[in-house]
A = this chain, B = another copy of it.
Amino acid sequence: MILTVTLNTALDITYQVKELRPHASHRVTEVTERPGGKGLNVARVLAALGHEVTVTGFVGGATGRTLQEQLVGAERMSDALVPVGGPTRRTVAVVDASTGDTTQLNEPGPQVSPAEWSAFQEAYEHLLRSASAVALCGSLPPGVPVGAYATLVRAARSASVPVLLDTSGEPLRRGVAARPDMVKPNADELAELTGSHEPLQAMKDVRRRGAHAVIASLGAQGLCALTPDGEWHAPAPDRLAGNPTGAGDSAVAGLLSGHADRLPWPDRLARAVALSAATVVSPVAGEFDRGTYEDLVGKVTVAERLGAA
């Protein structure tokens, strides 16, 4: 199975309102709720592609119970979340009905104690034994050490399990130094990590810092990969009107799926780009449109970059 780690899981709530106006009162016309956090989004896409997935991370409180209830019966997805005393955070996305513009409110997440963090690491090392790959995704809840992902990367490498890291800021910087097999930064994360706004230079720097393969998601420009086996660029398809929420998580799922299926890098990138695009055009944020995916996956052109600056 593929393991995804979401230390800061979330109950993702979406509100439809007519139009959000600061300091006014709004009647919410539609409420939807689903398990969230980047690793859970990755797991959902992997399961939809036919992979067996196990999700872990922290879960607690009434919001955590709701999240876990919604995982019950999800096909090909096993719940190995670890209990924490504080409540799982909510995220609230407020969508203006007319334009689709979204205002996001993110709770910080539960305070994690040292004992809870130790219990998680023990559960994680146990899960690694049956994992073919692991994805470490998203922000850290309060109390988890900033070097948490570095610790988890090292444990995966000790267990010979390929590990992909998708986070930002200092946890990314420390995690990269622990030499993960893959990292998937976006343009902002690359710039923050390296100080360079030139993606290719920044990607080279990230490899120097320790990552074996760097796959950068560059929005409308698609994916760029620097790997031990070569360099590739997979441009995004032309039509991309829609909601980019979850597009990066779908790219991670595509990369892991292609890795699990032992595809060569260009095919992995094609899968990741097609899934990303199919997520943007999906009417539901964070889900992908299967028809669009199947239509696009054969059409993505992946160019080899030879000695690009």
Which residue numbers of A lie inside 8 Å of B, CB to CB?
13, 15, 17, 20-29, 31, 62-63, 65-66, 69, 90, 92, 94, 96, 101-108
Complex Cα spacing A103 to B23, Å: 4
Tell whether, in the assembled complex, residue A103 and residue B26 are in contact, meaning their CB atoms are under 8 Å apart. Answer: yes
Chain B residue numbers with a CB within 8 Å of A92 are: 92, 105
Tell whether, in the assembled complex, residue A105 and residue B26 are in contact, meaning their CB atoms are under 8 Å apart. Answer: yes
Tell whether, in the assembled complex, residue B17 and residue A20 are in contact, meaning their CB atoms are under 8 Å apart. Answer: no
Tell whether, in the assembled complex, residue B17 and residue A105 are in contact, meaning their CB atoms are under 8 Å apart. Answer: yes
Q: In whole Å, how far is A195's beta carbon from the nearest beta carbon of chain B? A: 23
Complex Cα spacing A94 to B62, Å: 21
Given contacts A13-B90, A20-B23, A23-B103, 13 further A-B contacts (CB under 8 A): A17-B105, A21-B22, A21-B103, A22-B22, A22-B103, A23-B96, A23-B102, A24-B103, A25-B104, A26-B103, A27-B108, A62-B66, A62-B69
Complex Cα spacing A103 to B108, Å: 19
Complex Cα spacing A63 to B101, Å: 27
Complex Cα spacing A76 to B15, Å: 36
Chain B residue numbers with a CB within 8 Å of A65 are: 62
Q: A65-B62, A66-B62 are in contact. Are A105 and B22 (CB under 8 A)?
A: no
Q: In whole Å, how far is A61's beta carbon from the nearest beta carbon of chain B? A: 8
Complex Cα spacing A105 to B27, Å: 6
Q: Which residue of B lies closest to A19 (CB)?
A: B22
Tell whether, in the assembled complex, residue B28 and residue A108 are in contact, meaning their CB atoms are under 8 Å apart. Answer: yes
Q: In whole Å, how far is A285's beta carbon from the nearest beta carbon of chain B? A: 13
Tell whether, in the assembled complex, residue B106 and residue A26 are in contact, meaning their CB atoms are under 8 Å apart. Answer: yes
Tell whether, in the assembled complex, residue B26 and residue A101 are in contact, meaning their CB atoms are under 8 Å apart. Answer: no
Tell whether, in the assembled complex, residue B105 and residue A28 are in contact, meaning their CB atoms are under 8 Å apart. Answer: yes
Q: Which 10 A-B pairs have the closest CB atoms?
A: A25-B104, A62-B66, A23-B101, A28-B107, A20-B22, A26-B105, A31-B107, A22-B103, A62-B62, A23-B103
- 19 pairs, A vs B, C-beta closer than 8 Å: A13-B90, A15-B107, A20-B103, A21-B103, A22-B96, A24-B103, A25-B103, A25-B104, A25-B106, A26-B104, A26-B105, A27-B106, A27-B108, A28-B108, A31-B108, A62-B62, A62-B63, A62-B65, A92-B105
Tell whether, in the assembled complex, residue B62 and residue A24 are in contact, meaning their CB atoms are under 8 Å apart. Answer: no
Q: In whole Å, how far is A97's beta carbon from the nearest beta carbon of chain B? A: 13
Complex Cα spacing A17 to B104, Å: 11
